[in-house]
Amino acid sequence: MGSSDSEEIIKARERAVIDAYRPICLCNKIRRGIIVKAIQGGADSFEKVRRRTGAGTGPCGAQRCGPMVRGMLGEEVAACAECGWSILKSIEPLVCPRCGSENVRDGRESAAGQNKGG
Ligand code: FES
């Protein structure tokens, strides 16, 4: 354990804090940390997360946050290569609901923080 170890730990903590503040549900301003707490508290389905946090109850009808939350729950998620939107792999055809692109790439929700919002 040298000073570089503690710098790595400090950076990892900073990343964790920043990640926790990443917005998941833009409609209701619900951040990733709230969703994680709900899941850790036993919410094991999108419906349970929705009831505990309010995520997915906004005017977009969970189009944005739904796939991200489901990805956090372990469902397979792809990301639109054009706009970064999260797309559930279980829904065919694999077309981005945001921009209509069929150009998607693999990615799990842990990467969904990459969504550019909007
Ligand atoms: S982003 Fe969550 S309901 Fe719209």
Q: Where are the domains of the chain?
A: 3-113
Instruction: Supply the pLDDT for residue 116.
Output: 41
Instruction: Supply the pLDDT for residue 91.
Output: 86
CB of 50 shorter than 6 A to ligand 1: no
CB of 35 shorter than 6 A to ligand 1: no
Instruction: Supply the pLDDT for residue 117.
Output: 41
3-state secondary structure the chain: CCHHHHHHHHHHHHHHHHHHCCEEECCCCEEHHHHHHHHHCCCCCHHHHHHHHCCCCCCCCCCCHHHHHHHHCCCCEEEECCCCCEEECCCCCCCCCCCCCCCEEECCHHHHHHCCCC
* Cα-to-centroid distance, 56 and ligand 1 (Å): 5
* Cα-to-centroid distance, 28 and ligand 1 (Å): 6
Render each residue's pLDDT in the chain as its tens digit; 118 residues: 455 679 999 999 999 999 899 999 999 999 999 999 999 999 999 999 999 999 999 999 999 999 999 999 999 999 999 998 889 998 888 999 889 999 988 765 543 344 444 4
* Cα-to-centroid distance, 27 and ligand 1 (Å): 4
